[in-house]
Amino acid sequence: MAATAMLESERPVIHRLPQHKYIDAVRWLPPLSTFDRFAVLAAFDTDSGSSSIEIHSLNPNPLSLQPHSSFSSSSRVSSLRASQFLQKTVVAASTAAGSLHILFSDPADATFESEVSMPEEEGLHSVPGSCVDLMDGGVECVTVGEDGRVNLVSIGNSNLSRDRLFDSGGLVSYTAAKWASPMEFATGGYGFSLQWWDKRKPGGPVSQFKANWDQKFTAGIVHSIDIHPSRKHTCLA
């Protein structure tokens, strides 16, 4: 994997940090101080076929990653998010098998303390490939999948509660999701489509756009969504 460092008035510098596992996803953890930086990695060991979610510290001199804590995932991680809730760091991971893991970490020593999960047997998603986004504050997450399901999952200390907001029955496939506010979020999928949802208006998206962003591009897949926190400007990739 690679890390980017940039000082004021300088060009970004890319540092390569070789890992012996395949890295499926990486996210910064909310910083506890200006001196400590931690990242959470979704790793896959090709030799053993095992998957894990790991917390690493970024050591500045020499620049390297030092493992701190690890959790064995039931299957390969397809999407990874992190947020802060009260005095805890919350990590959400969806897997290729359709399960969801919520991990709670102590930000003081960057170790996993507890975990709640929703296994694939509970039918969160029926086909491989799902995406999760964690609301700021870590109390709720949205999961979407290629099966056309949109789920809202409330996070408790010892359990998860699911509410299926929509199910297209596979007619529409979703590949990305992003919260815009505590009540609204956006999804994207095949055909370079974008949907806007409001929790207060169940039954389907309140608005949607389909492949008409530019005359040159009428097909594609939305891999990532980012939304400006105040103006609701949306960026797609």
* pTM of the predicted structure, to 2 decimals: 0.86
Question: What whole-number distance in Å separates Cα of residue 197 and Cα of residue 184?
Answer: 6
In a domain, 125, yes or no: yes
- Under DSSP, the state recorded for 71 is E
In a domain, 192, yes or no: no
Question: What whole-number distance in Å separates Cα of residue 176 and Cα of residue 193?
Answer: 10
Query: What Rg, from alpha-carbon coordinates, does the chain have?
Result: 18
85: exposed, middle or buried (Cβ count in 10 Å: 0-12, 13-18, 19+): middle
In a domain, 85, yes or no: yes
Helix (H, G, I), strand (E, B) or coil at 136: coil
Question: What whole-number distance in Å separates Cα of residue 112 and Cα of residue 104?
Answer: 6
* Stretch 143-167: mean pLDDT: 90
* Stretch 146-150: mean pLDDT: 92
* Domain of 154, in residue numbers: 2-171
Judge whether 83 and 39 are in contact, CB under 8 Å.
no
Question: What whole-number distance in Å separates Cα of residue 177 and Cα of residue 131?
Answer: 7
What's the total number of domains in the chain?
Answer: 1
Question: What whole-number distance in Å separates Cα of residue 229 and Cα of residue 224?
Answer: 16
pLDDT at 59 over 90: no
pLDDT of res. 17:
82
In a domain, 19, yes or no: yes
In a domain, 204, yes or no: no
Please state, as a whole number, how many other Cβ atoms lie within 10 Å of the Cβ of residue 202.
Answer: 12
In a domain, 231, yes or no: no
In a domain, 191, yes or no: no
Least confident of 8-22, 30-44, 104-118, 179-193: 8-22
Which CATH number fits the domain that encloses residue 100?
2.130.10.10
In a domain, 47, yes or no: yes
Judge whether 118 and 110 are in contact, CB under 8 Å.
no
Question: What whole-number distance in Å separates Cα of residue 100 and Cα of residue 144?
Answer: 11
